[in-house]
Amino acid sequence: MRIYVDADACPVVYIVEQVAKQYNIPVTILCDTNHVLSSDYSDVKVIGAGVDAVDFALISMLEKDANDIVVTQDYGVAAMALGKNAFAIHQSGKWYTNDNIDMMLMERHLSKKARSIMRRIRISLAL
């Protein structure tokens, strides 16, 4: 078991480390070159700044059925982690599960579509 933290813009890295230390669980913190972090406890991996580079690096490190825990605010990362039978938790403490991830991904998709439509409406009104 290992805890992986998608640390770009993650405000709970310190809390994760505190809890992990109590239970002697190793932690890997992943961040891109725009959010370089350091730690006395965790293994910090700085990944290139490409789009989703940290996300894909994190998922590639997970071993299927290893009871790993992934801390992320990204629903896509959570879905891929669940696909490897890892546990996934949002930085707010909400657990991602096979029962709720599809709805979360659908809501994210619909919100993105709504924002796109609103943007096009504003552009057409400005003309």
Report the chain (127 residues): mean pLDDT per 10 consecutive residues: 93 96 97 89 92 93 94 95 96 95 89 91 82
Residues forming beta bridges with residue 4, ordered by sequence position:
28, 70
pLDDT value of position 8: 84
* Terminal Cα-to-Cα distance of the chain (whole angstroms): 56
Residue spans of the domains in the chain: they are: 3-98
pLDDT at 48: 87
Q: How much is the pTM?
A: 0.86
- CATH architecture of the domain formed by 3-98: 3-Layer(aba) Sandwich (3.40)
- Of the candidates 108, 51, 39, the one whose C-alpha atom is nearest the C-alpha of residue 75 is 108
